[in-house]
């Protein structure tokens, strides 16, 4: 019994030493590892205690230990286990994190199963052929105590690494060693060096060898700057003088009427001036007439024809403005050109070239021409060069009415019936009030409008305090009595246009209608019978108004005899001039055949006679450059 007790004590001591050594070993592993591995195994873990013994000393009675020794060992085991369990619980409370507490149930079951399998295998493992494995009764009692005392499963074995964790660390180390043996970083570095060293092959083009005895390229003697004999030419002197402009600015002051296409001593020119002097005595009377029936109007239009005798070249450049004299005895037409010229044509002369006289009162395009309503012998012309002149034909002089070299003029109209007061529109959006009775060439008032540009200005024929201006996208109606130097707001603004506007005009007799021409290929007619805060849109006429860069833009104008009809040029083939009713219906088209081979952008109608004058802008025939076309009844 003493031998068996000593043997049991030796077994218990060895068991205690084994547990202590395992605990220290686990601590060392945790310190040596690359990063701390913290795991929580939930569930019971089976413990196996191995006790070696020899078969030679085998007795049946040795398997039974004394009850006192078993009790003593069990008490020691329970005491040691309780102290160990308290330390482990404190450590777990300090180490556990919310992330560890949120471990999924699937991972817990897997870890629990692996740990149970490993411990179950170790339970039946033999140490040597002469040794055997015996379960100690202490283990059973300890296991039973664990099941009774443990409230948190898996906490008493947290200090020990599970076989899964050992296997995981072993796999990590083996993988690291394997990748280190591959030497991937060194291979990548070698590849980088190879890529850097490799460069695309440069294609070296062989230069042709120069022929020493061969003849070179042939060059002209002008480029070599030598004369035919081979003597070098002297260097040309540099031109320091400023080049003379093609159309120099006309000097201020009156300008004599000197025709550029004829001599001033010519008898025909003297007779021409005498004709204009006689016309100043026979002024046209402003008699109000009722509108004729549209059917009779169409019949009169059908009687108008175009012939070779009514087509003539008057100016050297393209026609930019037109005016027809209101005389009922003679047919006189005035045309303004883009070169600043003003041409006059008397159709009563034969041959027709004898009735053409050309003058140069301006240096830039003439954008507006009007015969004076008070004296038809006066022709007023306005130009981009900032000058407004009055051609007095009985005196054979172009008087200067208004001059502003810092600005460019676009259009003008008469504010009074005696033509003494004018309203002038500028391209920069400003306007000028000009009184011809005041000496000098300055304006009475310079007004800044609400438009950035002004293309046309037109005065109401009845209520002359109102005038309409066409800007880039908007059309404004102003009251001349309320104009201020700045911050002028219009009475009415027409904003229906979507693109650039070319013109806007009141109807010539009553002013109850307004026609506008826009680049959106539409002619719009508004009801201006009551000038209030808004003018309604009556009709929109679809019409091609895209003339391009080199042609003068279309401007739809009213027929002064029939103020419910508008006249406008056309881009259609064959070339024509069209007339539309204010309702949008087509009325008539003037087709001239070979005589009308170009586009008529600018048109003017005689106030009482059925005579239409149109400025031809050539497209195919250059011999009709700037030639007005006249269609009249036979």
Q: What is the pLDDT of residues 159-184, one digit of tens each?
A: 578 899 999 999 999 999 998 888 88
Backbone phi, psi, residue 251, to 5°: -65, 150
pLDDT reported for residue 630? 56
Question: Mean pLDDT across the stretch 28-35?
Answer: 42
Q: Is the pLDDT of residue 249 over 90?
A: no
- When mean pLDDT is compared across 77-86, 173-182, 191-200, 352-361, the lowest value belongs to 77-86
- pLDDT score, position 527: 93
Q: Using CA atoms, how far apart are residues 558 and 563, in angstroms rounded to an integer?
A: 6
pLDDT category at 199 given cuts 50, 70, 90 is: low
User: Which of 227-236, 429-438, 455-464 bottoms out in mean pLDDT, i.e. has the lowest?
Assistant: 227-236
What's residue 520's pLDDT? 92
Q: How far apart are CA 352 and CA 307, in angstroms?
A: 12
Residue 3 phi/psi, 5° resolution? -65, -40
Distances (CA, A) of 443 to 432, 434, 438: 6, 5, 9
**128-151 b/e with 16+ CB inside 10 Å = b?**
eeeeeeeebebeebbeeebeeeee
Cβ–Cβ under 8 Å, residues 37 and 163:
no
Question: How far apart (Å, rounded) are the C-alpha atoms in residues 69 and 8?
Answer: 8
Lowest mean pLDDT among 286-290, 319-323, 515-519: 286-290
Average pLDDT over residues 573-586: 92
596: which DSSP letter? -
Which of 165-179, 281-295, 379-393, 395-409 has the least mean pLDDT? 281-295
Q: Among 551, 502, 550, which residue's Cα sits nearest to residue 524?
A: 502
pTM, whole model, 2 decimals? 0.60
Give the list of residues 6+ apart from residue 10 with CB closer than 8 angstroms, or none: none
Distance between CA 7 and CA 1 in Å, rounded? 10
User: How sure is the predictor about 394, in pLDDT bands with cuts at 50, 70 and 90?
Assistant: confident
109: left (phi over 0), alpha (psi -120 to 50) or beta: alpha
Q: In what order do the strands lie in the sheet with 513-518?
A: 501-506, 513-518, 522-527, 537-542
**Residue entry with tokens 């679809």:** 542
């Amino acid at each position: 019994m003493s031998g068996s007790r000593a043997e049991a004590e030796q077994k218990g001591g060895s068991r205690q030493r084994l547990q202590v050594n395992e605990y220290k070993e686990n601590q060392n592993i945790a310190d040596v590892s690359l990063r701390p591995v913290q795991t929580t195994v939930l569930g019971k873990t089976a413990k196996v205690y191995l006790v070696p013994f020899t078969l030679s000393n085998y007795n049946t009675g040795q398997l039974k230990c004394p009850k006192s020794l078993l009790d003593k060992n069990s008490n020691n085991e329970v005491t040691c286990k309780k102290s160990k369990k308290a330390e482990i619980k404190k450590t777990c409370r300090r180490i556990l994190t919310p992330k560890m507490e949120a471990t999924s149930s699937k991972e817990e079951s897997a870890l629990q199963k692996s740990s149970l399998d490993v411990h179950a295998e170790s339970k039946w493992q033999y140490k040597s052929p002469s040794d055997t494995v015996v379960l100690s009764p202490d283990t059973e009692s300890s296991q039973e105590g664990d099941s009774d005392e443990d409230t948190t499963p898996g906490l008493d074995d947290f200090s020990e690494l599970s076989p899964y964790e050992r296997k995981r660390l072993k796999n990590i180390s083996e993988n690291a060693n394997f990748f280190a043996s591959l030497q991937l970083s060194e291979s990548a570095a070698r590849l980088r060096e190879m890529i850097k060293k490799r460069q695309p092959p440069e294609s070296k083009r062989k230069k042709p060898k120069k022929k020493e005895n061969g003849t070179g390229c042939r060059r002209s003697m002008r480029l070599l700057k030598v004369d035919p004999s081979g003597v070098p030419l002297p260097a040309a002197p540099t031109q320091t003088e400023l080049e003379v402009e093609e159309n120099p600015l006309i000097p201020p002051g009156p300008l004599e009427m000197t025709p550029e296409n004829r001599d001033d001593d010519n008898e025909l020119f003297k007779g021409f001036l005498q004709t204009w002097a006689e016309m100043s005595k026979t002024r046209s009377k402003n008699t109000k007439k009722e509108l004729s029936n549209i059917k009779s109007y169409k019949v009169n239009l059908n009687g108008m024809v175009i012939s070779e005798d009514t087509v003539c070249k008057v100016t050297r450049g393209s026609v930019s403005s037109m005016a027809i004299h209101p005389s009922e005895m003679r047919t006189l037409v005035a045309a303004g050109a883009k070169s600043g010229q003003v041409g006059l044509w008397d159709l009563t002369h034969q041959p027709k070239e004898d009735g053409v006289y050309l003058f140069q009162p301006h240096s830039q395009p003439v954008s507006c021409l009007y015969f004076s309503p008070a004296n038809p012998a006066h022709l007023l012309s306005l130009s981009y060069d900032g000058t407004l002149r009055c051609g007095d034909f009985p005196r054979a002089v172009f008087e200067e009415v208004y001059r502003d070299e810092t600005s460019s003029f676009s259009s003008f109209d008469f504010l009074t019936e005696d033509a003494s007061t004018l309203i002038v529109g500028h391209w920069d959006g400003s306007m000028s009030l000009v009184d011809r009775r005041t000496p000098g060439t300055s304006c009475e008032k310079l007004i800044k409008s609400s438009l950035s540009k002004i293309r046309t200005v037109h005065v109401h024929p009845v209520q002359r305090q109102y005038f309409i201006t066409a800007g880039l996208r908007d059309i404004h109606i102003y009251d001349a009595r309320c104009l201020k130097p700045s911050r002028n707001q219009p009475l009415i603004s027409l904003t229906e246009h979507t693109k650039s506007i070319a013109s806007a005009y009141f109807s010539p007799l009553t002013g109850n209608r307004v026609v506008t021409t826009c680049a959106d290929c539409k002619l719009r007619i508004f009801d201006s019978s009551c000038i209030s805060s808004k003018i309604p849109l009556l009709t929109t006429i679809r019409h091609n108004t895209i003339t391009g860069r080199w042609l003068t833009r279309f401007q739809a104008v009213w027929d002064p005899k029939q103020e419910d009809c508008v006249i406008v040029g056309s881009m259609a083939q064959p070339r024509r001039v069209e007339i539309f009713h204010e309702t949008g219906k087509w009325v008539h088209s003037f087709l001239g055949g070979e005589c009308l081979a170009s586009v008529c952008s600018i048109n003017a109608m005689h106030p009482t006679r059925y005579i239409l004058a149109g400025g031809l802008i050539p497209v195919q025939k250059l011999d009709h450059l700037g030639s007005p076309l006249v269609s009249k009844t036979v």
